[in-house]
Copies of this chain bind each other. A is one copy, B any other.
Amino acid sequence: MISVGIVGGTGYTGVELLRLLLRHAHVQVSILTSRTEAGKRVADMFPSLRGHTELEFSDLNVEQLKQCDVVFFATPHGVAMQHAEELVAAGTKVIDLAADFRLQNLEQFENWYGMQHVCPTVLKSSVYGLTELNREKIKQAEVIGNPGCYPTTVQLGLAPLLKGQSGLINTQSIIVDAKSGVSGAGRKASLGMIYTENADNFKAYGVAGHRHHPEIVEALENISEQQGQFDQLIFVPHLVPMIRGMLSTIYVDLTEQGQQKDLQALYEDFYKNERFVDVMPANSSPETRSVRGANELRIALYRPQPSKLVILVAQDNLVKGAAGQAVQNMNLMFGIDEATGLEGIGLLP
């Protein structure tokens, strides 16, 4: 059994990790920490867990965490980097669901997250956990920066056009019009998040800039091995009155070369061995409810004009966009079947 610690179990990625890991055949969740709830049973906070675990929140104790095989950080940004070095030294693997290990560019990190990075050396050796694109590195990783939810959709939505390809699209005119359910904002007591401010309402947000923009740009540079080609990417997130789910509508200008390619075949071929990425028939419309609760991401392409490709990408932001992908990475790191604990079918309706 893999002994697992979860730091910061009071948020939605925390309870989602528990939902998945408490049913994982090879995992024992040993420790669950919370700064504010130590001593409380997690099932008293999340009643869906009643009958499934007797775990209590404890204070964060690094010595105890070192006894774990792997520690997930489902914390605010800036916590994992405080402890990663010590844990790695003790042979404990780290998977951070916050942003501490997502950006290699320290300037961007400090700029967007308002804090200095405290372990740049660990950062350098960490691996970006977009499973399908970095599988071999993840298998060897000691520290994983689990991708942001929006960046997961954009990378998997664009990878077939960029990875091992060149000249299919205009990389400087990409537009990502993204939509997320409210759980993407986490579990926080703030006026802007209350029911009555979000129900029966729709709006854009983050128009002054969103932290996922630099992550997307850096990731696309890595996928395409082209530096400086994605700076002008436009990213506009919107808030949907629903709990879970994320849909990115990506607009791409095709080059002459791109227009002549069978793009549907390109995508299907690119993902043909992937269990969690579904390339739907052309002109399909992936619905977020089709992946509710499931570690799946669905893609559909269509061509409203010969030179324009529209890519629709749907996922559950808390699963493939967070906790599910983290478990997928853990499975790889421990050499077990990548799908273990992730076979659940989405809840529809």
Contacts and interface: CB of A to CB of B under 8 A. Distances in A.
A87 interface: no
B287 A200 contact: no
Interface string A287-325: 111111110101010101100101010100010000000
Nearest to A18: B345
A234 interface: yes
Given A242-B241, A280-B50, A347 B183 contact: no
A188 interface: yes
Contacts of A48: 289-292, 294, 345-348
Number of identical protomers: 4
Contact of A195 (B177, B202, B243, B283): B243
B187 A194 contact: yes
Contacts of A243: 195-196, 199-200, 349
A19 B196 contact: no
Given A234-B310, A242-B199, A47 B298 contact: yes
Given A48-B347, A190-B189, A200 B202 contact: no
Interface in A226-248: 232, 234-236, 238, 240-245, 247
A278 B304 CA distance: 32
Nearest to A240: B202
Contacts of A244: 200, 347, 349
Contacts of A344: 23, 344
A194 B203 contact: no
Contacts of A194: 182, 187-190, 193-195
A292 B345 CA distance: 14
B47 A286 contact: yes
A347 B201 contact: no
Contacts of A18: 345
Interface residues of A, number: 85
A12 interface: yes
Interface in A10-26: 12, 15, 18-19, 22-23
Nearest to A205: B285
A200 B304 CA distance: 28
Sort A-B residue pairs by CB-CB distance and give the 8 closest, nearest first: A47-B290, A48-B346, A48-B348, A201-B289, A196-B349, A177-B177, A203-B287, A195-B198
12 contacts: A47-B290, A177-B249, A182-B199, A187-B197, A187-B349, A188-B194, A189-B194, A194-B194, A202-B242, A203-B285, A204-B249, A208-B283
Given A179-B238, A188-B194, A238-B247, 10 more contacts: A15-B349, A19-B347, A47-B286, A47-B287, A51-B278, A189-B191, A189-B193, A200-B244, A234-B304, A347-B347
